[in-house]
Copies of this chain bind each other. A is one copy, B any other.
Amino acid sequence: MAIVLGDDQYGKAETRVVRIYRDTDRHEIRDLNVSTALRGDFTAAYLTGDQSKVLPTDSQKNTCFAFAKERGVGEIEDYALALAGHFTDDIESVTSARVEVDEYRWERVAVDGASHPHTFVRAGHEIRTAAAVIDTEGFVNAQWVVSGVRDLVVLKSTGSQFTGFLRDRYTTLPEATDRILATSLTARWRYAETDVAWGEAFGQVRQILLERFAVVHSRALQQTLWEMGSAVLAARDDVAEIRLSAPNKHHFLADLSPFGLDNPGEVFHADDRPYGLIQCAVVREGAPPAGSAWDAPASFA
């Protein structure tokens, strides 16, 4: 039976683009990590080493920088769409392009109570993400945008229990009626369209995720994730699907009884590994199909 090339993609990963807007004395900063991945008519590059249809990853990097100047960054979803559209439109051999962008947030430094015009301090623990995918093969120039956030670390110090679970012969875990629930959330949501006020939408989704995490009494991290994800879809008709990946960052109650101390949920050891890992998708029935939206560059390995 023949040995053949299967799926393949290539691109430039982690181009660190910093864009300063200095049209006035009050500068703006956008700080990005951009990865491109192209698919198309590249079989010859693999089978014979023929590079005549291969746009170098170095050129892809140059394009990320040039676009940051020529068209500006705007919302990262728009920037990613523009780059993906360029690769599929202008490079004949490319049939599909995925562009992923991480954005790091900066705040202005306050000086004498006023925000400084050109000095910034890195803000926030979390990272805003976006992926745009344009696929011209088997689709009529289909486009997907997946926005997201990662490293969103949240914790509630009560309002969480874990009881009534299945017990097998390897189960030793006691039931917990009041525990810390903490996670470092990765959330990614796929839009049903590409004409969205991205920044506003991001802010709203992030706020819903935080609020639901806060107000839902948790009977398990699974239930909390469902409540978070379904609330996002309920609030925004333009979100077709949301995927949540949540490590259960265990906080173990310190045993202080040998020292004559009680510990009613006050002192915890924050453990590193292992951790529970809960992952789910919440989807809208009848939404447009996901197509290539979720095929991350890392999916091959």
Contact = CB atoms under 8 A, between A and B. Distances in A.
Interface string A1-45: 111111111111111111111100001010100010100001001
A54 interface: yes
Interface residues of A, number: 156
A281 interface: yes
B266 A122 contact: no
Contacts of A219: 48-51
Nearest to A269: B16
Nearest to A262: B69
Interface string A269-301: 111111111111111111100000010111111
A254 interface: yes
B91 A168 contact: yes
B124 A21 contact: no
Nearest to A232: B3
Judged by DSSP, the binding face of A is: mixed
B162 A273 contact: no
Interface in A183-208: 186-188, 207
Given A69-B261, A277-B35, A54 B168 contact: no
Interface stretch (A74-82, A133-141, A244-252): A244-252
Contacts of A273: 13-16, 272
Contact of A300 (B54, B55, B60, B244): B244
B159 A12 contact: no
A157 interface: yes
Contacts of A177: none
A71 B73 CA distance: 46
Contacts of A173: 56, 58-59
